[in-house]
Amino acid sequence: MQKLLAIFTVLLFAVVGLGAGTALYVYKQWQRPSPLAEPILLEIPKGYGASQVGRLLQKNKVIESTRSFEWWCRLHPGKVSFKTGWYNIPTGQSIEQIVALLSSGKTATIRVTIPEGKAAWETAGILANSALKLDSAKLDSLMYSRAFTESLGVKAKDLEGYLLPNTYDFPYGTNEQSAINVLVRANLKLRDEMQARNSPVWNELGDWHRILTMASVVEKEAAVSHERTRIAGVFMNRYRIRMPLGADPTVRFIFRNMTGPIYRSQLNSDNPYNTRKFAGLMPGPIANPGRAAIEATLFPMQTDDLYFVAKDDGSREHFFSKNYADHNRYKAIAARNRGE
């Protein structure tokens, strides 16, 4: 009997020791830093559970053991909630840190800056040439699709003017429709913010589309920030007395001629966007104005100026004047500044 008891005691200690050793081994596996040699970008597909995620991680050498990963997830169910998406997984992470990352929803992003004053087709090119690697032709087609435009809640024939310039962090894997949607949502959010500020110009111009139309001209003409509100004041003065805005960028927009000389034939165009020839606003924006240009349009400087001309002295500033005689005098000074 004593012999059997001794054998049982030895076996019990062996089992306990083996269990303790196994537990210690598993614990060390959980705490061990990832064997990943360098950061990796990894997609967690929709519906993946612990077993599938574990196999994916082991396949990509993020973890050493799928079984250890599964056991950790089983013992910590409150910490496990895998979110679909792409993740930047750094080196040196424990299983707990990896699970926390994949459950956080903090997916990998690609930062893209859309400068102020770019036309829709230029914005399409910027998105296409970014790390998003989107299709330029598809972007362009969507931006000028009336059906897609209206599906985003924009009452216009296209999205010109509604692609708010800013720096955006797009989720990795963003497609053409989603990227455009982000820019438009930002524009409409700004609309709601600006409408709450009760600008008298809002009622004067009538609606957000016409505000963006005027703001796009202000954006293209204001080369330095401190002149935005004054330039907006000049254009509002001209608009009120039915005087043509006289903005060359509107002619450039017609011919997609954003740089270089403007020809006399272009200035004589009967296109309704030609503000050198026709009074009032164009049918729509000629570019995508930024927040500052929109604010300047809604809250312009109170001025009697009706004219401005670039100084052409390297400052990027303008001469402003109230009458045509002074305007001609300033044009002569600008010509001398150019060496003419």
Q: In whole angstroms, what is the distance from residue 216 CA to residue 223 CA?
A: 13
Of 66, 56, 47, 182, nearest to 114 by C-alpha is: 182
DSSP 52-104: HHHHHHHHTTS-S-HHHHHHHHHH-GGG-----EEEEE-SS--HHHHHHHHHH
List alpha helices for the chain, DSSP H: 2-31, 50-59, 66-75, 95-104, 120-128, 136-143, 146-151, 176-195, 200-205, 208-221, 228-240, 248-255, 264-267, 291-298, 324-337
Q: How far is CA 309 from the centre of its chain?
A: 33
Q: In whole angstroms, what is the distance from residue 248 CA to residue 274 CA?
A: 8
Instruction: Based on the fold, state whether residues 207 and 145 are members of the same structural domain.
Output: no
Determine the Cα angle at 88 with ends 85 and 89, to 5°. Answer: 115
- Is position 284 within any domain? yes
> Among residues 104, 129, 154, which one ends one of the domains?
104
- Is position 332 within any domain? no
CATH of the domain at 84: 3.30.1490.480
pLDDT in single tens digits along all 340 residues of the chain = 555 554 555 455 444 444 444 444 455 555 677 788 899 999 999 999 999 999 999 999 999 989 999 999 999 999 999 999 999 999 999 999 999 999 998 999 999 999 999 999 999 999 999 999 999 999 999 999 999 999 999 999 999 999 999 999 999 989 999 999 999 999 999 999 999 999 999 999 999 999 999 999 999 999 999 999 999 999 999 999 999 999 999 999 999 887 778 888 898 899 999 999 999 999 999 999 999 999 999 999 999 999 999 999 999 999 999 999 999 999 999 999 998 8
Q: How far is CA 266 from the centre of its chain?
A: 33
Q: For residue 10, what are its two tokens? A: 């030895």
**Total domain count for the chain?**
3
- Is position 15 within any domain? no
- Is position 11 within any domain? no
- Is position 212 within any domain? yes
- Is position 156 within any domain? yes
Taking CA atoms, 7 is separated from 21, 30, 162, 270, 325, in Å, by: 21, 34, 82, 106, 116
> Among residues 86, 104, 122, which one ends one of the domains?
104
> Among residues 104, 123, 140, which one ends one of the domains?
104
DSSP state for residue 34 in the 8-state scheme: P
- Is position 329 within any domain? no
Q: Write out the residue range of the structural domain in which residue 141 sits.
A: 109-194
